Copies of this chain bind each other. A is one copy, B any other.
Amino acid sequence: MDRLSELTTLLREFVHEREWEQFHDPKNLAMALASEAGELLAEYRWVRNEDADAWSRDPKNTGRVAAEAADVGIALLLLCDRLAIDPVEAIRAKIQVNRSNYPVGSSRGKAQRP
């Protein structure tokens, strides 16, 4: 079993022990995911772009950022599990779509979609 599937198993146990399946319909999980993403965002709101890497490596911040990123990951895995989506396959498929939406030639060095 790969590492992601092990996590999903751990999360299922965590949820089941607390009888939380009743709260975890896809709508609520999408809300949980977005609110966790909002907490991660809050960390960076006053950090300038050019300081963001150094700020993140500061031991005062790094553990908090990792915990917020983990919360986003947990919500995403719970949602994918509820929806029977394999996150690795979904991401692989989306990278393919992105390859055609952002061709190397017209996208190089440009952040906006060509």
Residues of A participating in the B interface, judged by any CB pair closer than 8 Å = 2-4, 7, 10-11, 14, 17-20, 22-23, 25-28, 30-35, 37-50, 52-53, 55-57, 62, 65-67, 69-74, 76-77, 79-80, 82-83, 85, 87-88, 90-95, 97-99, 102, 104, 107-109, 111-112
Question: Contact partner of A35 among B20, B28, B45, B94, CB < 8 A?
Answer: B45
Q: Is the interface of A mostly helix, strand, loop or mixed?
A: helix
A59: min CB distance to chain B, Å: 13
Q: How many copies does the complex hold?
A: 4
How far apart sit A51 and B63, CA to CA, in the bound complex (Å)? 30
Contacts of A45 in B (CB 8 A): 28, 31-32, 35
